[in-house]
């Protein structure tokens, strides 16, 4: 006779989350910026074990279910892991080839310090909108903008906030974006109807964000610690700066326009950059190899850590790269985070918490608010925005339909809750990737990602007002809702 399985309570689920938060708190307090080098991974694995222990002992969940869930979860990010490694190689290739130094060199001369943050956010928004990828935008244009910002005496965390805010606006609104397609398709909403409807919450969020960055920029006082002119001169001395190097970003843009898979695009862009490095930056490649061996230098640039000598402190830090090796901590963290999410799901704790959230629904604003909160919560627990979007859609699709709301309200709420909050979670795939690429911890840039937490707030406010929200009447027709229900 088999014993009947019990269902975990909401208190157990909350206790697990609080335990993880406590573990991460002490880890970060102890290791600081080095917490992603192992401490956070161990915290996630310990919490995963606690989840398995509680589920197995108290709720009779067999190990096989956890094993299958972990296999499925880790397998789902296999392509993301490869992309992370290629991004590491691309970062090294774009830097040593002189592509990023060239972008910084010209950027220092074009963008005025007072409008730098404003321009950064807009530029990243445009690039991400065109290519449909926040990751690629941050890994290429974003890296250059970090250097320009530091030359203008802005903190790297503040610049990272402007980069990520702009990149996620473009990612969210682009028809080429994976998350945009997933949100629209999982909710049953036509893609361009979904994008058009998102403008109601997304555009105001971006405008407020731009105003904030404009105000910060005009109030910014350059302390004189770094001279942009001096940095530009040092770049020109250390690298061969030429407009011809900008053919690599142009080549990358063409590949993206051809809608090639991200892995192929990033790989070909990396190869193009390393060829340029071998042709135009031979001295730098020789220095990395420690001899006049171009092949060795090129290979180290792609897979290893690189550092070029410079008497300019900022430049020395700026042009050092990690290659694929530098992404290994992130890959490790991704695997541990996905393991934790799988254990939470297999134990039934994710379902318990989301069902509890659904009980809080009483009116239109609470429906949207609960959807947004669930998307954020699933980002915390599953560490993956795609899973968050799909799971939230599955949980609320029938709820929206039964309450007579259009599917596009659900699809917009999915993006406002799951897509834009993913870079705010330190152990999520997005948070880990951007932190590694930009060299800024998630906790450091979190306060400045204004767009990422304004979007959920604006989404709930619009829902409360009832602007452009339609509800099915007794005749089956969608009519505008009243401001109050």
Are the CB atoms for 452 and 206 separated by under 8 Å?
no
Report the pLDDT value the prediction gives residue 484, as an integer from 0 to 100.
42
For residue 19, the SS3 value is: helix
- The answer, yes or no, to whether residue 1 has pLDDT greater than 50, is no
Q: Token pair 């006779």 is at which residue?
A: 1
Domain for residue 97, yes or no? yes
282 vs 182, more confident: 282
Residue 88 lies in a domain: yes
HSE-CB of 291 using CA atoms within 13 angstroms: 3
Return the bridge partners of 470, or none.
480
Q: Residue 50 corresponds to which tokens in the numbers above?
A: 């606690």
Supply the pLDDT for residue 33: 57
Q: What is the pLDDT of residues 16-25, one digit of tens each?
A: 878 887 887 7
Residue-wise pLDDT for 177-190, tens only, equals: 767 777 887 777 88
**Structural domain includes residue 236:** yes
- How many Å apart are CA 96 and CA 90, to the nearest integer? 10
CA dist., res. 172 & res. 194, Å (int): 10
DSSP state of 3: P
**pLDDT average, residue stretch 340-355:** 79
**Which residues are CB-neighbours of 46 under 8 A, at least 6 positions away?**
23
Token couple for 229? 């002119």
Evaluate whether residue 310 is within a structural domain: yes
Mean of pLDDT values over 423-427: 86
Range of the domain at 312: 79-327
With residues binned 3-state (H G I as helix, E B as strand, rest as coil), the percentages for the chain, rounded to 5, are 80, 0, 20
Contacts of 476 (CB under 8 A, 6+ apart): none
Give the pLDDT mean for 23-46: 76
Does 224 have pLDDT greater than 60? no
For range 443-464, the mean pLDDT: 92
Note the pLDDT tens digit of each residue in 137-164. 887 778 778 888 887 888 899 999 999 9
454 lies in a domain? no
Please state the rounded mean pLDDT for residues 379-398. Answer: 74
Q: How far is CA 73 from CA 66, 241, 421, in A?
A: 10, 44, 20
- Average pLDDT for 103-116: 77
- Amino acid 126: pLDDT: 80
Residue 381 domain-assigned (yes or no)? no
What does DSSP assign to residue 481? P
The pLDDT assigned to 447 comes to 93
Identify which of 371, 461, 465, 363 has the alpha carbon closest to the alpha carbon of residue 404. 363
State the average pLDDT for the chain: 82
Q: Per the domain annotation, does 206 fall within a domain?
A: yes
CB-based contacts of 111, cutoff 8 Å, min separation 6: 119, 148
Lowest mean pLDDT among 53-62, 349-358, 417-426, 433-442: 349-358
Can you tell me the mean pLDDT for 395-414?
A: 83
Using pLDDT thresholds of 50, 70 and 90, give the confidence band for residue 222. low
- Residue 295, pLDDT score: 92
- Residue for token digits 């932190």? 435
Distances 252 to 131, 166, 256, 269, 434 between C-alpha atoms, Å: 10, 20, 6, 6, 20
Q: Of 352 and 48, which is predicted with more confidence?
A: 48
DSSP string covering 243-284: GGGGHHHHHHHHHHHTT--HHHHHHHHHHHHHHHHHHH-HHH
Residue 445 is predicted with a pLDDT of 93
> Is 217 part of a structural domain of the chain?
yes
**Taking residues 451-471, what's their average pLDDT?**
90
Band (261; pLDDT cuts 50, 70, 90): confident
pTM for this entry: 0.68
Residues facing 306 on adjacent strands: 321
Give the pLDDT of residue 467: 86
Confidence check: pLDDT of 208 > 90: yes
Residue 3: pLDDT over 60:
no
Q: What percent of the chain has pLDDT over 70?
A: 89
Residue 482, pLDDT above cutoff 70: no
Can you tell me whether residue 456 is helix, strand or coil?
A: helix
Q: Indicate whether 88 pLDDT > 50.
A: yes
- Tell me what the mean pLDDT of segment 288-314 comes to: 83
Nearest alpha carbon to residue 345 among 391, 376, 386, 389: 391
Confidence of residue 483 (pLDDT cuts 50, 70, 90): very low
Task: Count CA atoms closer than 13 A to 447's CA, side-chain side.
Answer: 5
| pLDDT class of 2 with cuts at 50, 70, 90 | very low
Domain count, the chain: 1
């Amino acid at each position: 006779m088999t014993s009947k399985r019990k269902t975990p309570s909401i208190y157990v689920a909350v206790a697990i989350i609080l335990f993880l938060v406590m573990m991460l708190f002490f880890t970060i307090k102890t290791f600081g910026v080095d917490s992603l080098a192992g401490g956070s991974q161990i915290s996630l694995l310990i919490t995963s074990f606690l989840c398995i222990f509680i589920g197995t002992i108290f709720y009779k969940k067999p190990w096989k279910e956890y094993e299958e869930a972990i296999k499925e979860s880790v397998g789902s990010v296999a392509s993301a892991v490869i992309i992370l490694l290629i991004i590491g190689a691309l970062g090294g290739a774009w830097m040593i080839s002189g592509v990023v130094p060239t972008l910084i060199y010209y950027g220092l001369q074009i963008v005025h310090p007072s409008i730098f943050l404003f321009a950064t956010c807009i530029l990243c928004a445009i690039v991400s909108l065109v290519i449909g990828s926040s990751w690629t935008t941050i890994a290429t244009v974003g890296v250059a903008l970090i250097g320009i910002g530091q030359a203008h005496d802005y903190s790297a965390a503040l610049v990272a906030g402007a980069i990520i805010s702009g990149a996620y606006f473009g990612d969210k609104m682009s028809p080429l974006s994976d998350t945009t397609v997933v949100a629209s398709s999982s909710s049953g909403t036509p893609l361009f109807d979904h994008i058009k409807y998102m403008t109601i919450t997304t555009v105001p969020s971006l405008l407020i964000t731009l105003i904030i960055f404009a105000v910060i920029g005009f109030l910014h006082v350059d302390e004189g610690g770094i001279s942009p002119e001096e940095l530009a001169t040092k770049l020109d001395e250390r690298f061969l700066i030429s407009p011809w190097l900008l053919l690599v970003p142009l080549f990358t843009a063409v590949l993206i326009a051809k809608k090639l898979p991200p892995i192929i695009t990033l790989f070909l862009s990396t190869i193009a950059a390393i060829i340029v490095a071998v042709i135009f930056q031979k001295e730098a490649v020789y220095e990395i190899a420690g001899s006049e061996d171009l092949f060795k230098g090129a290979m180290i640039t792609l897979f290893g850590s690189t550092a070029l000598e410079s008497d300019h402190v900022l430049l020395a830090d700026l042009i050092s790269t990690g290659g694929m090796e530098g992404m290994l901590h992130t890959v490790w963290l991704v695997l541990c985070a996905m393991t934790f999410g799988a254990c939470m799901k297999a134990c039934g704790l994710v379902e318990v918490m989301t069902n509890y959230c659904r009980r809080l629904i009483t009116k239109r604003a609470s429906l949207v608010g609960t959807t947004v909160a669930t998307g954020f919560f699933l980002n915390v627990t599953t560490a993956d925005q795609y899973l968050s979007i799909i799971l939230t859609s599955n949980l609320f699709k029938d709820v929206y339909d039964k309450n007579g709301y259009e599917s596009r309200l659900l699809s917009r709420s999915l993006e406002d809750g799951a897509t834009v909050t993913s870079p705010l979670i330190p152990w999520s795939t997005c948070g880990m990737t951007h932190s590694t690429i930009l060299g800024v911890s998630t906790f450091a840039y979190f306060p400045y990602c204004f767009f990422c937490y304004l979007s959920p707030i604006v989404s709930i406010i619009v829902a409360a007002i009832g602007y452009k929200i339609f509800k099915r009447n007794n005749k089956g027709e969608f009519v505008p809702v009243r401001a109050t229900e």
